[in-house]
Amino acid sequence: MRTSQAAKESDFGRRFGWFIERSGARIGELDYIRWDSLSQFWHEYRVAWRSPEDQVIGSIAWIEAGLVLRNRRYMDVMVDSFLTAPRDGDVIAVRSAFVPEERMRRDE
């Protein structure tokens, strides 16, 4: 099935990356780096903030700031329930952010 292949190739949309939004405004982006098989469901991304004032540091701060992720390919897919974990430098790990396969099927 083509959708299943597309889902696998894009890692359920994760490889397209995400816009980081707060109150409807884009404040940054996540560029996909890799899935760390030792970390099970965590995927690593490089964070790029639009400006230093937009920067949110720390897992709890991301939750408190009410940040959401919008997929860069499937712009109608927005994730508001996800976890983050800091890594070295401008890299974070994200869990529970993906594009549902049903959504990918609509583009067939």
Asked if the structure places residue 93 within a domain, the reply is yes
Asked if the structure places residue 107 within a domain, the reply is no
Q: Is the pLDDT confidence value at 2 over 70?
A: no
Asked if the structure places residue 104 within a domain, the reply is no
* Whole-structure pTM value: 0.91
Q: How many domains does the chain have?
A: 1
For residue 4, the model assigns a pLDDT of: 74
pLDDT, tens only, 3-51: 678 888 899 999 999 999 999 999 999 999 998 777 778 999 999 999 9
Asked if the structure places residue 108 within a domain, the reply is no
Contacts of 73 (CB under 8 A, 6+ apart): 10, 13, 16, 99
Asked if the structure places residue 59 within a domain, the reply is yes
Q: Is 93 helix (H, G, I), strand (E, B) or coil?
A: strand
Asked if the structure places residue 105 within a domain, the reply is no
Domain carrying residue 25: 2-99
For residue 108, the model assigns a pLDDT of: 66
